[in-house]
Amino acid sequence: MREGQTHTKQEKEQVTQAKEQAVNTKEALTELGKINYQKHCAVCHREDGKGMPPAFPGLLGSKISVGPIDNHIEIVLNGKKGTAMQGFAGQLTDREVAAVVTYERNTWENDDKKKYGESAGGVVTPGQVKKVRQ
């Protein structure tokens, strides 16, 4: 591109996506997710993901942790009314939420597609969180 030329909206989006992919690998998000999970989630859901039912349900094989990703993001952002689950929208960035959800979906064998189906596991991006947050 020559000096003075501007990028199209599509080109800008492609550059943003490429940058996001570079820093948001499964490994990087899982590492950050583990840190944030230990800081914000493990008190109730425990390190082993088994929770303390009935007040604090386990995440190991739960319909949230192995079900549709947008539902998982929604719960982390906004909590669940009528339960002890608080929302973290005001405390965590889009990347941190993506990391926590990626960690929860890929830990405790929650990524086992044979056992839980095609929505199990996966990598959640900050862009996905941003869409659910809006």
Confidence at residue 53, expressed as pLDDT on a 0 to 100 scale: 94
3-state secondary structure (DSSP) of residue 56: strand
**77-96: pLDDT as tens digits:** 999 999 999 999 999 999 99
Q: How many domains does the chain have?
A: 1
**Domain-located, residue 5:** no
**What are residue 52's phi and psi, to 5 degrees?**
-140, 75
User: If you average pLDDT over residues 113-128, what whole number do you get?
Assistant: 96
State the residue range of the domain holding 96.
25-133
Say which CATH number the domain at 116 has.
1.10.760.10
Residue 55, classified by CB atoms within 10 Å of its CB into exposed (0-12), middle (13-18) or buried (19+), is exposed
Residue type at 36 in one-letter notation: N
What pLDDT band is residue 19 in, cutting at 50, 70 and 90? low
Peptide linkage before 54 cis (omega within 30 of 0): yes
Residues of the chain with pLDDT > 70, as a percent, come to 89
Residue type at 31 in one-letter notation: E
Determine contact, residues 21/33, Cβ cutoff 8 Å: no
pTM of the model: 0.84
**Domain-located, residue 14:** no
**32-54: pLDDT as tens digits:** 999 999 999 999 999 999 999 99
**Domain-located, residue 99:** yes
